[in-house]
C-alpha cells in the first residue's frame, strides 16, 4: 500500500494555481502557485497533493497522500482524516536534496474542505530522514489548497 501511495504522490497531477506551505523542521516552505497539483481518484479513494519551488541551485518540495472518502460527494462531511497517510519534504541543492518522509501513522493528512474544484487540507506529524544527507527527525505543520483533477 505504501508503494501505491508513493507512486501516486510522484505521479504528475495537473498543476494548477494552488498552494502548499508550512514549516518543515526549522525550514519554511511555500510552493509557487503554478507548481502545486492535486489528484483524487474516486474509484480507489486515493488523494495526492504535491508542491514545489526552486531554481537551478536549490529546490524544495512537499507531498501528502492518503486514502479517504470522496471530498467532492454531495453532503461530504469535513474534516476527512485520510488513512495510510504519507508525507514527504525535500530541500537542498540539485540533484540530490535532503529528503524526509513520514509513513505508518507518523503523519496525519486531513482534508478540510472542497469548493469549486479546490480541495484544502493539512499535513501534520513527524518525518524521518530518507535521502540526500537529511539529518534528524523533523516536525511538520503545513497546509495546502489546490484545484484537483478528479477521476
**pLDDT for 33:** 67
Q: Is the pLDDT of residue 76 over 60?
A: yes
Q: Position of cell 531554481?
A: 55
Q: Where do the domains of the chain lie?
A: 2-68+78-150
Closest to 45 in 3D by CA, of 140, 113, 111, 89: 111
For the segment 59-73, the average pLDDT, to the nearest whole number, is 96
40 neighbors 70 (Cβ within 8 angstroms): yes
For the segment 108-124, the average pLDDT, to the nearest whole number, is 95
Q: Return mean pLDDT, the chain.
A: 88
Report if pTM > 0.85: yes
Q: Is the pLDDT of residue 13 over 90?
A: no
Q: Is the pLDDT of residue 116 over 60?
A: yes
Question: Cα angle at 83 between 25 and 36, to 5 degrees?
Answer: 55
Closest to 35 in 3D by CA, of 144, 151, 150: 144
Range of weakest confidence among 5-14, 24-33, 35-44, 108-117? 5-14
- The helix/strand/coil state of 30 is strand
Amino acid at each position: 500500500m505504501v508503494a501505491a501511495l508513493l507512486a501516486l504522490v510522484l505521479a504528475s497531477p495537473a498543476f494548477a494555481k494552488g498552494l502548499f506551505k508550512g514549516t518543515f523542521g526549522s525550514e519554511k516552505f511555500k510552493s509557487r502557485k503554478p507548481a502545486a497539483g492535486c489528484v483524487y481518484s474516486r474509484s480507489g479513494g486515493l488523494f495526492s497533493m504535491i508542491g514545489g519551488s526552486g531554481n537551478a541551485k536549490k529546490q524544495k518540495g512537499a507531498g501528502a497522500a492518503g486514502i479517504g472518502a470522496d471530498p467532492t460527494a454531495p453532503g461530504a462531511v469535513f474534516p476527512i482524516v485520510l488513512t495510510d497517510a504519507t508525507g514527504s519534504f525535500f530541500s537542498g541543492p540539485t540533484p540530490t536534496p535532503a529528503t524526509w518522509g513520514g509513513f505508518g501513522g507518523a503523519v496525519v493528512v486531513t482534508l478540510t474542505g472542497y469548493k469549486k474544484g479546490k480541495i484544502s487540507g493539512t499535513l501534520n506529524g513527524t518525518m524521518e530522514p530518507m535521502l540526500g544527507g537529511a539529518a534528524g527527525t523533523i516536525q511538520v505543520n503545513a497546509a495546502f489548497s489546490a484545484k484537483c483533477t478528479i477521476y
